[in-house]
Chains A and B, each alone.
Chain A
Amino acid sequence: MAEVRYEAVTKRFGLVTALSELTLVIPDGSFLALLGPSGCGKTTALRILAGLDTPSGGRVFIGERDVTGLEPRKRDVAMVFQNYALYPHMNVARNIGYPLRIRGVADAVIAERVQAVARLLTIEELLARKPKELSGGQRQRVALARAIIREPSAFLMDEPLSNLDAKLRLQMRGEIKHLQHGLGTTTIFVTHDQAEALTMADVIAVMDRGVLQQVGDPDEIYNEPVNRFVATFVGNPGMNLLPCRINTAAESLHGHGWTHAIGGLATALAGAATGNEIELGIRPEEVAILDHEEAATIQAEVYAVEPMGSETLVELRLGATRFLVKTGARFRAKSGAPGWLDLSGSRKYFFDPATGRRLLAEAATREVPEARKTAP
């Protein structure tokens, strides 16, 4: 168990910068999710930590040791790969015991530890089987068993749930989280699934195009995004963004066919933003849809209704802008029908469209006075 540290780590592949000056500290014993879309550099960061790739610049530390130039076998890390990488010519017992066998541990000790780890992951009855005789979930447990048998300083997991079906993925999320808390080993978990990151991790590091965007606990990442990328990437669905203009005189925001009063915030926003144009961010679950107009509501057109069982996802159009709302399971409306968006109870976020950064983070929870509606 140890703290893991990246110090200004950069990785270039020819002219492409896969990782740009990554500086990140993963506290000892914590579960960190490296979250981001494909190509954001999260797997590159993990591979550099494992020693499977060499950084173009910067240093990597595990505990107090600078491991930047060390071979993978000298770093005392264990890795679970996306496709599990079980050795096909060995049975499950030999796969699990392999890391100990290489280190010359006595056969009797290996057998005992294999049994113990197999019991922990409930795969004792699979020990004689070959990997090709296992299901996806079973293979994943074997890969986990092979990782934990060594008691390494850190676990590295490269999207280990992505090859599982949805139900099994949900089950394994909880099991991995429980396992990690029980073992207390520093864990770095790479995923593109923001739901996985939010549910499993103690700390989330969001990345985009090789650059670290934000580090924080799940609550912070979800409720206090630092920029539009984090706001729209995290959340299912992500945050809605409405382009609009600040009207300081009217203390309101003006969008395409809508106006929303924001009181004194207008002046503060005008001072903080690069220009007059900003983006208003609202989470889909914080908006109500009414079937009639009320004061301070914004009229939109229902584009599609997606019942999901326990809730309904409604896509509306505000001019050319797409707006998603998560509402109750009983919501019904036809495509093309009008819907009135009630933003009164929603938390509002403001973003600078030029830089993407969030504006007035401390002002986001302020109450908004009654709004005015303008004709389209």
Chain B
Amino acid sequence: MTASPARLALRSGRYLLLAAALFLTLFPLYWLLISSLKSDPELFRSVPTFFPERPTLGAYRDLFAIRNVGQFLLNSLIVVSASVIASLTIGSAAAYSLARFRSSANRPILFAILLTRMIPGIVIVVPIFLMIRSLHLLNTYAGLTLVYTALNLPFVIWMMRSFFNEIPVELEEAAMVDGDSRLSALVRIILPLAAPGLAATAFFAVISTYNEFVFALILTSTDDTMTVPVGTATLSFKTSVDWGAMTAMAVIGILPVVILAIALQRHFVRGLTLGAVK
């Protein structure tokens, strides 16, 4: 049966909207990529080119050779991995406890956790700086990891609690009767089932930690500990901006997250939709 003209028009309109949204989302990334591959003169042409005339990896070479980008990436990798693993471990344990053990304290605890998410980071930057300094943890991985773990915990607890609530409590009760302790039931039965939720939570935690700028800026001042966002900011000077280096840095910065998203996408989609349909 052929569709009516009105239906066709509606469908076309929908596709048009989707195309426009995709274009708005993807074009800036495309522009970023091609800009990173253009030479400086081509970058500053009055009439922009939509494909590099003579693609060059010069900007990338300079970043790694002169600007210490490899170190920034390594710093980010270490700090993000450590803090996300720590927050997932501690947060999941807290979330499990809040999901499974009924207590009148649960509600106030959850509210307090939610409250911490509402505080803008900039408000607590100075107290955090003073605390980390008093612990002699400035310019250290440990200092940043500690702060990022604390910042991620509320989000992890809230997300994982809702995922644990989706898993029937009878499963771990059955495991405990079958011979597991509560801890081994959690590890052997619950965590595998919560894997999609863990993947989704981990992904969001990685994104927010990786992109974090303010705390990284005030807690680090040497190349040995600077993360990618802070390192990228150093490419911007008072009188000029190295656009080639900046765009190449942005591309390099995006890559780890893209790779992670591709690796986790199966779990990620399941995790986001888990519990949406009973």
Residues of A in contact with B (beta carbons under 8 Å apart): 50-52, 71-73, 75, 77-79, 81-83, 85, 87-89, 98-99, 102-103, 146, 150, 156
In the bound complex, residues from chain B placing their C-beta under 8 Å from that of A156 are: 177
Which residues in A have their C-beta under 8 angstroms from that of B192? 89
B179 neighbours in A (Cβ, 8 Å): 73, 99, 102-103
Q: Which residues of B contact A (CB under 8 A)?
A: 168, 170-171, 173-181, 184, 188-189, 192-193
Check if B180 sits within 8 Å of A81, measured CB to CB. no
How many A-B contacts at CB < 8 Å in the complex? 57
Residues of chain A lying within 8 A (CB to CB) of residue B173? 50, 52, 72, 79, 81, 85
Q: Is the CB of B180 within 8 A of A102?
A: yes
Q: A83-B168, A85-B171, A87-B171 are in contact. Are A71 and B176 (CB under 8 A)?
A: yes
- Inter-chain contacts of A103 with B (CB < 8 A): 179
Known contacts A81-B170, A98-B178; 5 additional CB pairs below 8 A are A50-B173, A79-B173, A81-B173, A82-B170, A88-B193
Contact A83/B176 with A73-B181, A88-B193, A89-B192 known, Cβ cut-off 8 Å: no
User: In the complex where A52-B176, A88-B193, A89-B193 touch, is A71 in contact with B170 (Cβ < 8 A)?
Assistant: no
Contact of B193 with A79 in the complex, beta carbons under 8 Å = no
**Minimum Cβ distance to chain A for residue B278 (Å):** 14
Closest to B178 in A: A99
The answer for the CA separation of A87 and B178 in the assembled complex, in Å, is 12
- Please, which residue of chain B has its CB at the minimum distance from the CB of A52? B173
A73 to B193 alpha-carbon distance, docked (Å): 21
A146 vs B178: C-alpha distance when bound (angstroms): 9
Secondary structure class of chain B's binding surface, majority of residues: helix
Give min CB distance, B154 to chain A, whole Å: 29
* Contact indicator B181/A71 (Cβ below 8 Å): yes
Question: Given contacts A83-B168, A85-B170, A85-B171, is CB(A73)–CB(B189) below 8 Å?
Answer: no
What separation, in Å, do the CA atoms of A79 and B175 have in the docked complex? Answer: 10
Least Cβ distance of A355 to chain B in Å?
37
Q: How far is the CA of A87 from the CA of B189 in the complex (A)?
A: 7
- Name 20 A/B residue pairs within 8 A (Cβ), A-sorted: A51-B177, A52-B173, A52-B176, A52-B177, A72-B176, A72-B177, A73-B177, A73-B178, A73-B180, A79-B177, A81-B173, A81-B174, A85-B168, A85-B173, A85-B174, A87-B174, A88-B193, A98-B178, A102-B184, A150-B178
Complex CA–CA separation, A77 to B181 (angstroms): 14
A103–B184 CA distance with the chains assembled, in angstroms: 12
The answer to whether B177 and A77 touch across the interface, beta carbons within 8 angstroms, is: yes
Residues in chain A near residue B174, CB distance under 8 A:
79, 81, 85, 87
CB distance from B90 to the nearest CB of A (A): 24
Point out the residues of chain A lying under 8 angstroms from B177, CB to CB: 50-52, 72-73, 75, 77-79, 156
Taking the closest CB of chain B, its distance from the CB of A53, in whole angstroms, is 10
Residues of B within 8 A of A81 (CB): 170, 173-174
Q: Which residues of B contact A87 (CB under 8 A)?
A: 171, 174-175, 189
B176 contact set on A, CB distance < 8 A = 51-52, 71-73
Question: Looking across the interface, which residue of chain A has its beta carbon closest to that of B182?
Answer: A71
Q: How far is the CA of A146 from the CA of B171 in the complex (A)?
A: 13
Rounded to whole Å, the gap between the CB of B188 and the closest CB of chain A is 8
Residues of B within 8 A of A83 (CB): 168, 170
Question: In the complex, what distance in Å separates the CA atom of A342 from the CA atom of B193?
Answer: 63
Q: Which of chain A's residues have a CB closer than 8 A to the CB of B181?
A: 71, 73
Complex Cα gap A79–B179 (Å)? 11
A103 to B176, CA, bound (A): 12
Residues of A within 8 A of B175 (CB): 87, 98
Residue of B nearest to A102 (CB): B179
CB distance from A97 to the nearest CB of B (A): 10
Nearest B-chain residue to A78, judged by Cβ: B177
